[in-house]
Amino acid sequence: MKLHLHSYKITSRRAATAVAVAASVYFSFSALHNQKVRQQRDLETSASLLADGLREALEPILDGPRSHLQELADHFGKRGHLAGIAVFAEDRSLLARSKSLPQSLVKPPSIVARAALTRRGAEGYELTAGRRLRVNAVPLEVKGKPAGVVAVFHDPAFIEARMERTRWDSAWRMLLQGGVFLVAVWLFGLFIKE
């Protein structure tokens, strides 16, 4: 009977350890996923706000001489996670682009075409010159008539880089938590009398 009771204590300790480790792993992965979703949502929100702000700044420029378009596009080139902006005419020809964006943007991404056709904002990911970029496109109007599209390009690679660093931090934290829990279970087992 004592042997059976001793086996039960060892088994219950192992089960408690396994449950604690599994819970730690689950919560760590859940936190990682939530953090990635939050960062993507923040990127989408800031890109949308920037695109709307640019629309308000560009519409008066499109009504007059367009000499300031390139200046404005260069001003927004390669800042932080922003890859740049591009302004397309109603016929989808390129009016201006940030110098940080590839020259292949002469042909607008499909998201820009969708925004021009539907006359509503469009967003999504596009492969541009071998880079996966987040594109937010907003239609432009002058005196109530379609005048083109402004596209904001963000490079989401920073999210993956940040997540990789967070994964390593989480792995170390899980190992530390698991080690502390194992020591606690071992010490608890020492104080339980048979």
The β-bridge partners of 84 are 153
Q: Which residue has the higher pLDDT, 37 or 111?
A: 111
Q: Which residue has the higher pLDDT, 73 or 36?
A: 73
* Start-end of H helices in the chain: 2-63, 68-75, 110-118, 157-191
Using one digit for the tens of pLDDT, what is the confidence trace for 88-132? 988 888 888 888 888 877 678 888 999 999 989 888 888 877 788
Average pLDDT over residues 179-184: 75
Average pLDDT over residues 12-25: 70
What pLDDT, on the 0 to 100 scale, is given for residue 114? 92
Average pLDDT over residues 173-193: 72
Q: Is the pTM of this model over 0.85?
A: no
Q: Is 163 exposed, middle or buried (0-12, 13-18, 19+ CB in 10 A)?
A: middle
Using one digit for the tens of pLDDT, what is the confidence trace for 41-80? 777 777 777 777 778 777 777 777 777 788 888 877 766 6
Confidence of residue 149 (pLDDT cuts 50, 70, 90): very high
Give the span between the Cα atoms of 64 and 59, in whole angstroms.
9
pLDDT reading at 84 higher than 80: yes
pLDDT reading at 5 higher than 50: no
What average pLDDT does the structure give for the chain?
77
Under a CB-based contact definition with an 8 Å cutoff, are residues 134 and 43 in contact?
yes
pLDDT reading at 1 higher than 50: no
Q: What are phi and psi of 145, to 5 degrees?
A: -110, 145
Q: How far is CA 124 from CA 33, 93, 108, in A?
A: 20, 20, 14
% of the chain at pLDDT higher than 90: 6
Average pLDDT over residues 17-32: 72
pLDDT reading at 82 higher than 50: yes
